[in-house]
Structure 1
């Protein structure tokens, strides 16, 4: 039984909480406009409930709350957040919003409303929606900030969704929204999105690390107190009045990333937490004051010279500024110390919204890397005419990476994405220079166009009017601008060649007395397996296809050699699967009774019974089974959600599955013999391969073995750990 009175009170409580947080910046009629938006949304969603069963209005209220409290947005954003779902889910239209709340709010909501209609098979609705949302960047960055608030609340309430939806939404979040939050400087939101992704895709690991963090809390707090005590005392002695020192553990996801990257256990990670020193000083004093504090810290603790990061002199592209150093504590632990001012901290926590607030202030900086980034996104949207998924790949590659700082021969600074090459720089300077690039001089040395640039390089581009782009160039450019300009050039060149090919084909058909009708031309393209007529003409023009191979029998349906055009209809595959599984069946059971369904286990992650898995419908290889923690899972689930199939294992164990393990330890005589004895004799597991490298008394081995399920694999790992000299045993993806 629904308690309507309790629900009404909760809705009112959330609404009042929102107004309380918004109060400091409300002007004139703002409170009235927010109330009107709240009532409009309440009325529009009155009969709707979320999957959790709660009234739908609580979702827009929560999104508006995140926008104000965690991102620091204002009245327009509150109104847009309260109304963000009404056009998509109710009878209200954009015109109604514009009439009642003005064009600015209407524009934001239009950017937030998903595209409706039919999609090509092989494109992704999520990718299309994301591209549409980015297009509004040129008008208003608040669209993306509200979308991030919406996604964060969806992730916080993901527990009430079905398992396959959880995986799809979590993966999409990891693929797009967490990197986007990072790029807009919203570190707290980025970290929470990553942690929530882990919570739903690898629950065991998430629980393990969060329990470890909880267990070590008391010891950590004592350590932090002892560490910062002398620093605080010295800062006060030197006359610093307004400062704050705090320590907090790193996010669960970043700890896991470190464990994997460094191949160490939780206990072995040396910088589990960061100490933050935040100073309240005027803008013009920031730089010298931060360096003074750095001097105080290093008076007490020895710094690691390789771990000093100065993002005050050169801020990150998303506006982040701070001094980072890693120092050795008195107990022999490395500790990361971040030194920043209140303004820098605000920008680090709230990203673009805070940066914008300081930008319009009279004393702060007026231009930042974040503005440049937004401009780059606009440029990219202007030049991009690829399909949505290709666009997304380019977007992620170009805009979610670190930067490399290089100089022109005249000393002008150019910022490029990490891994950028000399050719990328050429296109960054000017498209024409890019087209005519021959090579480059980096720090006075001659290098090829594929040469990767590093921080501080001075680069001179060498050109020739006879030079022109080739398809090979696409293999070593990283920036979206270079890639799209090269593709544009090659497309134009291909068009010219295709036109030459068309003339040749039509002349050949004239010789054979065959009408060059669309039906005949399409038949030709299909016969020679060309994806389109344009491709067919191009192949003829560049002699990949001999014009003399066009013969009369191709057009004669009675001929044995006649092959009609065969078009692959995307939905056919889905229908086949439905025919076998039954239209309402949503679950694929692996291991028993599935001989009717064509499925295979993915080589990228080698799933075995007991692993949490999902199925992916490929176009030509049936269904591929992946682990939910597979490196490819995030991309597949976020781009092709409609082709994901829920899957689980049956209880039977007659089948064997290939799994890989790495084994490390101290070397001794007879060790390999002991390891193989455990595998073959004790657990009767078959080995496919074993390689062991030994140097300086330490060995590392990689074994490929056949097991029945995760339980047998876990038992094997535990037995191997008992072998004298073995220090660690881990499963790896092949």
Structure 2
């Protein structure tokens, strides 16, 4: 059973008297409001509030967010009003609690697209206004998924599907890998119980078989690094999340011998030069697999993920993936956008500089995709459900790549995006005037699928030119489709 001490002991920022007082005050207020209430699991309701707050503390959130996490169900499930919360804890915390309450109003039912649409719209709006509301909602959902077995079967399926279709992708887009992985695995368990059981047993079997080789490699790599005088923060093994393993197996015809990262070694280093030096030492000790080295430090994933991945032939030729990253990169991979609180504190900047216009605001580039989605929703109107859902599948749910302008600016695009998508991502005028394109200096057709990391140059007409109606057939991004339609209508 959790206590408030568990939250305080896991608080990542310096625990000042003021912060501790705020968290303690919110806990006592919530405990009094929920007194006598039980969850379907039979446990006291306050345990859910504490579980939500513990997740927030572990990912490095601040005292106000944790206070809002403790209070998040009070106006909805007790006689205490939002105005009482504002009176006791201030407007900022009350607004977060109100935001969480509003996010809970619409539930995903059956397959009606309008429910998906409305729920996603609410999430996007909440993200653009105060990202902390969505992070609290993710922590709330994580504990609800851990106790889902106590609900009726129909509710289990609805909540699991909502988690898989809405909450896990949002956690992924915010870069909170640990929460995303847990949410997917928990939803997978209820949505596909037979596959879940099979994958779980398969992973356990192969993990146990490979564990001795992994442990031997960890020991030998650690010894090599020590002999070279390189300081290592941590070196450990990790298992792949079950749902991610299932998806990968489906792509490999369910042949587990084709999965090279079932067990991975993770090496956490003090700084970036150490990461590259460690890569050289690992390759000196074990032969790398050709074509399996990925440098996400120099070219991060669109959600900010940074790490070096290499696949080696380990002890007795066993294939093992090795991930090398700094502590900051590791925290950002696990906690995503939430890690800004920890590192802004360490860099002696106010976390307010990051997260709100008036009080604290996430850097604009961090949530550029939220801004674009909101603009696009306004452009297509509120009633075009089919186009909105189809666009979401591409803009939001699909994997993303990076491409570069000739000047080195990074453009974030969905997989299979074309030079026309790239052009419209820069400016609608460049899009409409596009006549040709180069990828890494070579001429490519306008419907070419851009590859991650390519430099794309758009060749434009000097004169005003309207886009081709044929472009609608092959462009992928919603912004390109919308701008092309708008420009064609004007003619």
Identify the TM-score tier after normalising by the shorter chain.
0.7 to 0.9
Helix, strand or coil at the partner of 1:26: coil
The whole-number CA distance in structure 1 between the counterparts of 2:468 and 2:99 is: 37
Runs (4+) of structure 1 moved beyond 6 Å?
none
What CA distance in whole angstroms lies between the structure 1 residues aligned with 2:281 and 2:4? 46
Alpha-carbon distance in 2 for matches of 1:28, 1:382: 43
Q: Which has the higher contact order (CA 8 A, sep 6+)?
A: 2
Q: Is this contact kept in 1: 2:53–2:70, CA < 8 A?
A: yes
CA contact 2:27–2:70 (8 Å) conserved in 1: yes
Are 1:18 and 2:7 matched, yes or no? yes
- The 1:221–1:319 alpha-carbon spacing in structure 2 relative to 1, beyond 3 Å, is same
Cα distance in structure 1, aligned partners of 2:106 and 2:417? 38
Give the deviation of 1:246 after TM superposition.
0.9
Matched, 1:206 2:199: no
Q: Indicate the larger mover: 307-316 or 374-383.
A: 374-383
Return the structure number with greater strand share.
Answer: 1
Q: 1:331 aligns with which of 316, 323, 329?
A: 316
Match of 1:96 in 2: 84
- Matched residue of 1:245: which SS? strand
Q: Distance in 2 between matches of 1:423 and 1:305?
A: 33
Q: Report if aligned partners of 1:409, 1:460 keep a CA contact under 8 Å in 2.
A: no
**CA deviation after TM superposition for structure 1 residue 155, in Å:** 0.9
**Kindly tell me: are residues 375 and 415 of structure 1, through their superposed partners in 2, closer, same or farther at Cα, counting changes over 3 Å?**
closer
Q: Within 2, Cα distance between the matches of 1:311 and 1:129?
A: 32
Q: CA deviation at 1:239?
A: 0.8
Structure 2 equivalent of residue 419 of structure 1: 416
1:308 to partner: Cα distance: 0.5
The count of aligned residue pairs is 474
Measured at CA, do residues 474 and 167 of structure 1 come closer, stay the same or move farther in structure 2, by a change above 3 Å? farther
Match of 1:144 among 134, 137, 146: 134
The structure having more radius of gyration, on CA atoms, is 1
Equivalent in the alignment of 1:648: none
SS of alignment partner, residue 315 of structure 1? coil
TM-score scaled to structure 2, two decimals? 0.86
Which of residues 295, 315, 319 in structure 2 aligns to 1:310?
A: 295
Taking structure 1 as reference, are residues 273 and 218 closer, same or farther at Cα in structure 2, changes over 3 Å only? closer
Kindly indicate whether the alpha-carbon contact (under 8 Å) linking 1:183 and 1:318 is maintained by their aligned counterparts in 2: yes
Aligned Cα root-mean-square deviation (Å):
3.2
Pairs within 5 Å for 1:149-548: 149-266=139-256, 269-279=259-269, 281=270, 286-359=271-344, 361-362=346-347, 372-385=365-378, 386-387=381-382, 390-391=387-388, 393-442=390-439, 447-454=444-451, 455-463=453-461, 465=463, 467-469=465-467, 472-489=470-487, 493=490
Please, which runs of 5 or more residues in structure 1 have no aligned partner?
A: 1-9, 497-734
Q: Using structure 1 for the length normalisation, give the TM-score.
A: 0.59
Counterpart for residue 55 of structure 1: 44
Quick one: structure 1 residues 214 and 122, their matched pair in 2 at CA, closer, same or farther if it must change by over 3 Å? closer
1:127 to 117, 123, 127: 117
Shift of residue 143 of structure 1?
Answer: 1.3
CA distance in 2, matches of 1:35, 1:416: 44
Identify if the C-alpha distance between structure 1 residues 440 and 225 changes in structure 2 by more than 3 Å, giving closer, same or farther: closer
Q: 1:23 to 1:402 in 2, by over 3 A?
A: closer
1:545 corresponding residue in structure 2: none
Q: What is the CA–CA distance in structure 2 between the aligned matches of 1:269 and 1:447, rounded to whole Å?
A: 34
Are residues 484 and 53 of structure 1, via their aligned partners in 2, closer, same or farther at CA, if it must alter by over 3 Å?
farther
Residue matched to 2:358: none
**CA–CA separation in structure 1 for the residues paired with 2:339 and 2:209:** 35
The CA deviation string for residues 33-62 of structure 1, in whole angstroms up to 9 with x for no partner, is: 223322332343335432223332221221
Match of 1:106 in 2: 94
More moved, 264-273 vs 253-262: 264-273
Q: 1:485 to 1:90 in 2, by over 3 A?
A: farther
